[in-house]
């Protein structure tokens, strides 16, 4: 069954995706472990922030709100980092950089949230506990879905449910494009929309990508163009995996230099 995350791998390099699936489908790369740690930290951040929001009183200033939201964050990141450092499955430097970057992203996120919360408090004269639903609607975190019919499975970072409508949300740590979202991210949201539609019988018209580096949520409208592009790509991936036929693609030397498969890949330039 195709994983939704394979779509961005396929866009990055079809040969790499093919090798990953045929050579070591079960191997845990440093990238995959880092992804899991990122999810763990983000999930804890959401839980802690939601809980701490209840302590926000009516007349508090922006700095005070920020402190309430962010105070515990460095410590829980350190705890998670120590746990993974002891498990010894990820390179220490990668872990360290990952945790430092995430702490900075979450600091920025908390600062922006503090500003927004202050705006709402000023206009409503309510306390944090009373406006918590505005910032944290009912949601499903790391929600797994799979469909035999689509031959597709994935774990959605978050699904917000507002008035019975489902909004899949994917979190990204990289820099976004100037406008909109990257194609791979749009296709990932379209894939989640298809899974929600097929498995939960809920039509999804829009999803979102959270680009945490700039603390911005960008929409992805699920229109017929995106839908068709998704299914064309799934057909190509299925064909490649079933028949071993790798579609034509452009080779970028820089990608190959960094690629963990460059020694066994027939497409890799000799000097990679």
* Phi, psi (rounded to 5 degrees) for 90: -130, 140
CB of 11 vs ligand SF4, minimal distance in Å: 12
How many Cβ atoms sit within 10 Å of the Cβ of residue 263?
A: 8
CB of 30 vs ligand SF4, minimal distance in Å: 16
21 forms part of the interface with ligand SF4 (CB under 6 A): no
Q: How far apart are CA 221 and CA 60, in angstroms?
A: 37
Complex with ligand SF4: residue 15 or 37, whichever CB lies closer? 15
Task: Annotate each residue in 227-266 with x if it binds ligand SF4 (CB under 6 A) or - if it does not, as one string.
Answer: ------------------------x---xx--x-xx--x-
CB of 268 vs ligand SF4, minimal distance in Å: 4
Of 9-17, 39-47, 172-180, 215-223: span binding ligand SF4 (CB under 6 A): 9-17
Q: How far apart are CA 123 and CA 173, in angstroms?
A: 32
Please pick, from the candidates 13, 41, 48, 209, the single residue that binds ligand SF4 as defined by CB under 6 A: 13
* 65: its two tokens: 């709100």
Please pick, from the candidates 16, 153, 158, 218, the single residue that binds ligand SF4 as defined by CB under 6 A: 16
Contact 39, 157 (CB under 8 A): yes
Complex with ligand SF4: residue 12 or 136, whichever CB lies closer? 12
Rounded to whole angstroms, what are the CA distances from 178 to 100, 169, 175? 25, 19, 9
* Exposed/middle/buried for residue 201 (C-beta within 10 Å: 0-12, 13-18, 19+): exposed
Indicate the pairing of strand 206-211 with strand 165-172. parallel
Q: How many residues of this chain interact with ligand SF4, rule: CB under 6 A?
A: 13
CB of 257 vs ligand SF4, minimal distance in Å: 8
19 forms part of the interface with ligand SF4 (CB under 6 A): yes
Task: Annotate each residue in 33-72 with x if it binds ligand SF4 (CB under 6 A) or - if it does not, as one string.
Answer: ----------------------------------------
Those residues whose C-beta lies under 8 Å from the C-beta of residue 39, and which sit 6 or more positions away, are 142, 157
How many Cβ atoms sit within 10 Å of the Cβ of residue 14?
A: 19
Interface residues with ligand SF4 (CB under 6 A)?
13, 15-16, 19, 251, 255-256, 259, 261-262, 265, 267-268
């Amino acid at each position: 069954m195709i994983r939704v995350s394979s779509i961005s791998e396929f866009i990055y390099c079809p040969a790499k995706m093919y090798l990953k699936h045929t050579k070591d489908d079960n191997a845990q790369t440093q990238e995959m472990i880092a992804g899991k740690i990122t999810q763990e930290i983000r999930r804890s951040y959401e839980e802690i922030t939601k809980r701490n929001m209840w302590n926000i009183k009516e007349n508090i200033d922006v700095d005070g709100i920020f402190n309430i939201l962010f105070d515990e964050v460095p410590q829980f990141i350190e705890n998670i980092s120590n746990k993974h450092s002891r498990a010894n499955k990820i390179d220490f430097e990668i872990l360290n950089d990952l945790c430092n970057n995430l702490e900075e992203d979450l600091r920025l996120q908390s600062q922006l949230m503090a500003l927004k919360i202050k705006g709402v408090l000023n206009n409503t004269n309510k306390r944090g506990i009373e406006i918590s639903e505005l910032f944290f609607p009912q949601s499903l975190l790391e929600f797994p879905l799979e469909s035999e019919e689509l031959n597709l499975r994935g774990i959605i970072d978050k699904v917000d449910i507002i008035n019975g409508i489902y909004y899949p949300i994917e979190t990204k740590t990289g820099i976004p494009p100037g406008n909109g979202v990257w194609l791979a991210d749009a296709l990932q949201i379209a894939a989640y929309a298809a899974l929600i539609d097929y498995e939960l019988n809920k039509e999804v018209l829009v999803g979102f990508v959270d680009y945490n580096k700039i603390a911005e949520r960008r929409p992805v409208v699920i229109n017929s163009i995106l839908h068709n592009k998704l299914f064309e790509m799934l057909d190509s991936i299925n064909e490649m995996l079933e028949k071993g036929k790798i579609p034509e693609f452009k080779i970028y030397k820089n990608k190959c230099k960094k690629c963990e498969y460059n020694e066994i890949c027939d497409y890799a330039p000799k000097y990679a």
